[in-house]
Structure 1
């Protein structure tokens, strides 16, 4: 990693530029631009998120935005309405108000004397979502976007639902936002900070039950999903993803469907920007960003539009490692996507050869029908599944799958003599009956080494109520066999010679998926797995090396500590995944604000009882400077009965040692399809 301190342009910074919305709400922006932009206007690049520019994303902002600004751009980091140092209130994610504000900010930027009139938009996660949404809304000044770790479909590929299954992260993210949005502005920038803080706290939404109530793909989820009409995507898009992040499907979807110039890059990374993300190798994301902006915001004929459509890191077989620093592999560059180098190889599911009736075989045999195998997995299966969006090296990626495999219905393929390259999404077809009206099936495609270690290549899942329609789910008829089909996640993976493929099926996946109301039993009587087999490749792209601007100046007041472990209570008969993440406390040496954050999660369940599932999350946020200090604590709990999902929360706020705010929520959501 190279730290750059010299750039083509000398830059100046403004820490609080006000951008007033049509309704009078003032948004706060931190801006870096060339010092002569007033006489030589430059394009603007906008990042627009709720994660607080003054403390939250500041460490990464200072490594990225001065770098891009130093190459002749005005980089504008805006706190979204109701967050950080911006006025107003935030009601939910991706609201019409949020989108309207984005369009208004883009228009405002294009009309400033220091702006050339061309605007680009970039962002990761929430910021990646809203730059795609901005492109969908087609503001005239928006000329290009760069999106990282985002989605095209808010119901199919976000933290709420996957395959119609309610994700544990729906609750988890609700707890995160309850905490994140509870903090006040910085008094140095907002003398009326306390009034703004009290207004925020009084209006603070508890979003987890709101999202959990929306169990079909209706208007709420379609809003903000660019997949609703790819034809509206007329703005050039550079889209990035990571195989260790659960937004990996977006890249292929956009490259295949967007009519504007669209290029996709997927590395081995977690939910971070590619110049700092693990597992390695990191790449020169910022150089690629500047190249994209040069082409579409400045009109530089650098050939960016002729780059390969889809560049991916094809991972090679390696031992399972939930904290992998590097994933071996090579870069594949596809001139077009879908690629003519990928063909479909169909493997049949059948009863295992020479084994007990409880396990299956995965092979090319055409006569593999005539079996009946049961999926009735214990509720604690999935403790090594990893996070929906892992952030780093704290054992957040999928670990060794062999324990879960042993509890699943597993179909094993033959040992591969020549190895196998996979690029794309596998499709699973099953003939299956359920003894309960509500239930789901999870499929994991694994790479099994000669020593029995199992690495998850990709997974997919289907809420069986969604077997015919995501918009109009219907419960299963107990005992009635149906044909279902669903795709697993996109992948790029080279399985080594001497290894074998395994398809593992389960009807539990804790805590990744919230359990069904009853411990059901599925009977599989047929099926096939269509694999995307690549013709083979060598190293086909050499990305620029990772580099960034100087990191933030800070002093560590108290170092952090992270723990992640599984607890088995031999008396209560419970299993629990426990995460303790103390980020410590640090002082910003530029403006003196001290900040800190502490989080704990507990996901507990009994193997024989889905209604024993319980999640408890606690978040604390700390801000101080001199004699001034504030603290917020958000406590959230989720449980369920056979008929309802229960969400409780408490939010407290202190000014100094005085409790100044307290609010509780207790919401019950009917279980219609989950």
Structure 2
């Protein structure tokens, strides 16, 4: 533990106190498994116990999230909280194996951790739980288990439905990021335990962990509908199980934002929501900016629910959201113009519904247009301008000019707007369709078209039409038979300026975001029977302000190598092969090779993702992901080389994986996987 004379530097603010940090401690589970933790304590906590804030994830406190943890948990400790970062079973230096996401054992361990925290001499028995992504999920899952000491939750970039809004499936379609994330998890879990913490047994424990590692992408691909596997851990199955107050946070550039308005609309407990312009990054570091004072907002929440202080959080609007202004369609965005608004209720009667009708002549208008049945069979590479499924603050990740894809879609467009129009919430499309195949996708994109013709995607959705009645029980289409379907596009907040146009594009493919259908599909759309519903925010709705970002002490980090990110899309005009490549060197998000100065640990992660397809053949789709992840110190160097690949035929998916682990450049372990999984109307 750092002595008081070596306490972390104070942050400017009204109430910061000196903080001590315990680099590592063990928390023993009822079955004897030990979980590793890192603890920040405010001065005086042993004499006068304080509430505690828990973050519980598998991303390695010592060398994974260290750079992010210090400024956040240090801030909480400076403001009178014991902050504790716990690595889940089988991750970091914690004992055991990580067998999958969100298992019952993961929740059981969290309950034991919370009980342990509440019993410590520095804790007054009150615990808050916070998380982003995985820990945002399990914060809600644990809240639904109702541990006595858990008094409040802050969940960020999370979902309440593990099937519809996670990295595996979207709208009943298979996300190609299922393979990406599965490959990333293999690389993450291939990192060794730190001998400085666990001693000489580190190597044996590392090799044992490698031997028990599952083939993650195949675990998830085995469940292609919303079955009991996904329903477990999806708090939407019983919102009433959550009994403590919840602050829910999301970002328009992130992929989990649909859950924010859905959660606060359904919880019976006190709740508030915030949606900003950010990708998958805590909002005090949010990109695209502007970042906000998330840590101040969090402390207000904790002070109210854990200390009993009236901080005014329940006087805040039910939902605070950033309404973005129009921007040029560029792949890299560091700042988004716009304004913050607050809605006192959600759902809100301040939003006025507006209906736009599709017309057979390609118009999108307030009045019904000409009748017409229009057909579309998109090229398999449609979607190259779509950007990444999840924004993470990286170069080139945003959707680019939609004109690249509009040529492969049906397009419906408004006249030039004579006044600005702000949309906030869920845009819903009501369509009458028929298909020539039993399995078909419908892809919708709503764009802001500038006077010069450039088109910026505002929101979109992909949808497997066999799931038109439910995700639990998909049903094949009857070729040629018309049906009605309602499809919700992702929630959005956007202001279309006067002089711009709105454009709806309808397509049958979206590569490389989703895996294609078994056969080429032609959709027929009955325009006169189709419409778009928009939630319109009044232009005179008041603007609110948010606090600027603050941080606790920064983590001492030295960048010892540059990071680069490249994204390219190419066409071979001889063979017709369409290739999409993402390549990151130094860090998987382009952050470079880093050394955590306090521990001397160096981290490097290189990744290459290559997806190929021919425009006329969905069965030509191929995906290969290769990675190298390295970490260590002088005299102790480890790395893992990971390769995963996927292809399909008309009836099955075929997955392969290989992992080779090295110690000081000598191979010490190898794993290989080969899986064939039947397609389930996918």
TM-score, length basis structure 1: 0.97
Cα distance, 1:229 vs structure 2: 0.8
Residue in structure 2 matched with residue 314 of structure 1 by the alignment: 323
Q: Does 1:238 align with 2:247?
A: yes
Which of 8, 20, 39 is the aligned partner of 2:28?
20
Aligned-pair distance for 1:550?
Answer: 2.7
- Alignment map for 1:130-169 (pairs within 5 Å): 130-169=138-177
Q: 1:559: Cα distance to partner?
A: 1.8
Q: Contact 2:363/2:369 (CA < 8 Å) preserved in 1?
A: no
Give yes or no for contact 2:10–2:17 (8 Å, CA) kept in 1.
no
Which structure 2 residue ranges, 5 or more long, are not aligned? 1-8
**2: distance between equivalents of 1:460 and 1:390?**
16
For the pair 1:505 / 2:514, whether they are aligned, the reply is no
Structure 1 counterpart of 2:128, from 112, 120, 132? 120
Counterpart in the other structure of 2:623: 615
Alpha-carbon spacing, 1:52–1:484, altered in 2? closer, same or farther (3 Å)? same
Checking the alignment, whether the CA contact within 8 Å between 1:18 and 1:26 is kept in structure 2 is: yes
Q: Which residue of 2 aligns with 1:624?
A: 632
Query: Residues 220 and 540 of structure 1: is their aligned pair in 2 closer, same or farther, counting only changes over 3 Å?
Result: same
Counterpart-to-counterpart distance in 1, 2:335 and 2:242: 35
Q: Which runs of 5+ in 1 are unaligned?
A: 353-359
User: How has the CA–CA distance of structure 1 residues 537 and 15 changed in structure 2, closer, same or farther, with 3 Å as cutoff?
Assistant: farther
Choose which of 242, 249, 256 in structure 2 pairs with 1:247: 256
Does the residue aligned with 1:190 lie in a helix, a strand or coil?
helix
Q: Give the total of aligned pairs.
A: 665
Match of 1:355 in 2: none
Partner of 2:4: none
Name the CA shift for 1:610/1:565 in 2 (closer, same or farther; >3 Å). Answer: same
Once the two structures are TM-superposed, the CA of residue 538 in structure 1 deviates from its matched residue by 4.8
CA distance in 1 between counterparts of 2:601 and 2:395 reads 27
CA distance in 2, matches of 1:118, 1:508: 50
Q: Is the 8 A contact 2:565 2:582 kept in 1?
A: yes
Q: In 1, are the aligned partners of 2:249 and 2:274 still within 8 Å (CA)?
A: yes
Whole-angstrom CA distance in 2 between matches of 1:595 and 1:426:
42
Structure 1 segment 209-224 matched on structure 2, within 5 A? 209-224=218-233
Tell me, what secondary structure is at the counterpart of 2:136?
Answer: helix
Which residue does 2:188 correspond to in 1? 180
Partner of 1:361: 363
Query: Which residue is 2:11 aligned to?
Result: 4
Match of 1:349 in 2: 358
Q: Which residue of 1 aligns with 2:477?
A: 476
Distance 1:340 1:73 in 2: 38
Output one character per residue of 1:183-230: Cα deviation in whole Å (capped at 9) or x when no partner.
Answer: 111110011111211111001111212211211111011100111111
Matches of 1:153 and 1:536 in 2, distance apart? 33
For 1:633, the equivalent position in structure 2 comes to: 641
Which residue matches 2:5?
A: none
Residues 199-214 of structure 1: pairs in structure 2 closer than 5 A: 199-214=208-223
Deviation of the 1:347 alpha carbon = 1.3
1:322·1:393 contact (CA, 8 Å) conserved in 2? Answer: no
Question: Closer, same or farther in 2 for the Cα pair 1:443/1:283, shift >3 Å?
Answer: same
| CA distance in 1: counterparts of 2:508 and 2:71, whole angstroms | 44
Q: Offset at 1:232?
A: 1.4
Q: Which among 92, 101, 108 is matched to residue 116 of structure 2?
A: 108
Query: How far 1:102 moved relative to its partner?
Result: 1.0
Indicate if the aligned counterparts of 1:646 and 1:667 stay in contact, CA closer than 8 A.
Answer: yes
Q: Contact conserved, 1:445 with 1:456, CA < 8 A, in 2?
A: yes
Q: What secondary structure sits across from 1:4 in the alignment?
A: coil
**Contact 2:401/2:454, CA 8 A, preserved across alignment:** yes
Shift of 1:3: 9.6
Contact 2:354 2:536 (8 Å CA) reproduced: yes
Equivalence for 1:357: none
Q: Which residue of 2 aligns with 1:555?
A: 558
User: Match for 1:652 among 626, 645, 660?
Assistant: 660
* Distance (whole Å) between structure 1 residues aligned to residue 639 and residue 594 of structure 2: 15
Residue 317 of structure 1 deviates from its aligned partner by: 1.4
Give the superposition deviation at 1:25. Answer: 0.4
- For residues 233 and 186 of structure 1, the distance between their equivalents in structure 2, rounded to whole angstroms, comes to 37
* Offset of residue 555 of structure 1: 2.3
Distance 2:422 2:631 in 1: 50
**1:600 is aligned to 2:604:** no
Q: Does the 8 Å contact 1:270/1:278 carry over to 2?
A: yes
The answer to whether the 8 Å contact 1:28/1:85 transfers is yes
Question: 2-side partners of 1:366 and 1:524: how far apart?
Answer: 15
| 1:546-603 deviation digits (Å, cap 9, x = unpaired) | 1112322122222222211112222331111211111242222111112211111111
- 1:389 equivalent in alignment to 2:390: yes
In structure 1, the residue matched to 2:533 is 530
2:67–2:557 Cα contact (<8 Å) kept: no
- Superposed CA deviations along residues 58-89 of structure 1, whole A, max 9, x for unmatched, are 11111111011110001100111100111110
TM-score relative to the length of structure 2? 0.96
Alignment map for 1:257-296 (pairs within 5 Å): 257-296=266-305
TM superposition shift of 1:367? 5.5
Tell me the distance in 1 between the aligned counterparts of 2:598 and 2:327.
43
Aligned 1:657-668 pairs, distance under 5 A: 657-668=665-676
Q: Is the 8 A contact 2:10 2:18 kept in 1?
A: no
Q: Do 2:426 and 2:535's aligned partners in 1 also have CA atoms closer than 8 Å?
A: yes
Deviation string 1:258-288 (CA, Å, 9 cap, x unpaired) is 1111110001111101111211111001111
- 1:5, distance to aligned residue in structure 2 (A): 6.4
Pair 1:170 & 2:178 matched: yes
| Contact 1:594/1:623 (8 A) holds in 2 | yes
Equivalent runs, 1:395-434 vs 2, <5 Å: 395-434=396-435
Query: How far 1:4 moved relative to its partner?
Result: 3.0
RMSD of Structure 2 on Structure 1 (CA): 1.4
Q: Aligned partners of 1:537, 1:268: CA distance in 2, in Å?
A: 21
User: After TM superposition, which residue ranges in structure 1, 4 or more long, deviate above 4 angstroms?
Assistant: none
Larger displacement relative to structure 2 (531-540 or 35-44): 531-540
Question: Could you say what secondary structure the match of 2:490 adopts?
Answer: strand
Match of 2:56 among 42, 48, 72: 48
Cα distance change of structure 1 residues 448 and 244 upon mapping to structure 2, 3 Å threshold:
same
Report the alpha carbon displacement of residue 537 of structure 1 after superposing the two structures with TM. Answer: 3.7
Does the 8 Å CA contact 1:294/1:300 hold for their aligned counterparts?
yes
Structure 1 residue 523: Cα displacement: 0.6
